[in-house]
Amino acid sequence: MSNDNFLVHIENLCFDYDGRPVLQGIDMRIPKGRVVAIMGGSGCGKTTLLRLIGGQLRPTAGSVRVANEAISAMSHARLYAFRRRMGMLFQFGALFTDLSVFDNVAFPLREHTDLPEEMIRDLTLMKLQAVGLRGARDLMPNALSGGMARRVALARAVALDPALIMYDEPFTGLDPISLGVIGQLIRRLNDALGATSIMVTHDVQESLRMVDYIYFISEGRVAAEGTPEEVRASADPFVHQFIAAKADGPVPYHVPAPDMAAEFLGAAHV
């Protein structure tokens, strides 16, 4: 495939947090129009990766290019111009608590367009209709359930019809029904908008059902990758441990510690 078929190029991406390496040389290519999942254990740097793509963090080494432009080399104004074409769903929605559901979804439209109020109203109601919450427009965020808040945040993330949508743990803390609803919405919105989606998650089953491609990250590196079929058929011990949810495997159950016998017996002798 030629370069133009990929929206996001990540090359040898490294990132340190307070001197502790989080990402150590990630290579990824996200094809246009697809839904790609990035999976890995908690705290493996998945969210950091999204924030590097969005330009909220600067890489220690390596580069992130979106639409063939390096994010880390952009000026503030250029980055903001770019972000208007990106949508991001935060882990718990991050709805503005002082604004109603309607005003939350209308927020990007009001900030970035000079559209008359009637048109903003129509566009906002269309987005809310797409996530099935047109009837909840006057509620405040604290009156919403977790799943509803996530859907409102999704409507807000796609308010400006972005080319790239990023999802940070969209399934965390949802009941099975809400989880399925969000999964379908992500797929449907991606296809309807002709956008590209990157989803960071550790929910294996839902992801295998709806995404086009999966990257596994472990210890700051890409540990495995492939389409859902390839992943299911994979003999890779890491992938196998992850999918079958086994406690021990390449990802060890125990935090590295001194030998148990030595520690317990040693303590008794003191």
Partner 1 sequence: MSRVVDLLRFLGGQVVNRVWRLGRASRFFLAVLLKSGAALLRFPLLLREIWFAGVLSLIIILVSGLFVGLVLGLQGYEILQRYGSAQALGTMVALSLLRELGPVVAALLFASRAGSAITAEIGLMKATEQLKAMDMMAVDPVARVVAPRFWGGVISMPILAMLFSSMGILGGWLIGVVFLGVDDGAFWSSMQASVDFRYDVWNGVFKSVIFGVAVSLIAVFEGYDSEPTAEGVSRAITRTVVTSALAILALDFVLTSFMFRGMP
Which of 27, 17, 18, 38 shows the shortest CA–CA distance to 63? 27
Q: Does 111 bind partner 1 (CB under 8 A)?
A: yes
Give the side-chain half-sphere CA count within 13 A for 239: 20
Q: Does 238 bind partner 1 (CB under 8 A)?
A: no
Least spacing, CB of residue 158 vs partner 1, in Å:
12
Nearer to partner 1, 91 or 178 (CB): 91
- 38-40-43-48 Cα dihedral, nearest 10 degrees: -20
Strand 221-226, strand 213-218: pairing: antiparallel
Least spacing, CB of residue 42 vs partner 1, in Å:
17
Q: Does 69 bind partner 1 (CB under 8 A)?
A: no
Q: Does 86 bind partner 1 (CB under 8 A)?
A: yes
Six-digit token string for 135? 């009837």
Contacting range for partner 1; rule: CB under 8 A; set: 84-92, 117-125, 170-178, 211-219: 84-92
Site string for partner 1, 135-174 (x = CB under 8 A): ------------------x---------------------
Asked if 68 and 96 count as a contact pair (C-beta separation under 8 A), the reply is: no
Asked if 45 and 61 count as a contact pair (C-beta separation under 8 A), the reply is: no
Least spacing, CB of residue 137 vs partner 1, in Å:
19
Asked if 174 and 98 count as a contact pair (C-beta separation under 8 A), the reply is: no
DSSP 33: T
Q: Does 58 bind partner 1 (CB under 8 A)?
A: no
- Would you tell me which residues interact with partner 1 (CB under 8 A)? 54, 56, 80-81, 83-84, 86, 88, 90-92, 94-98, 107-108, 111-112, 153
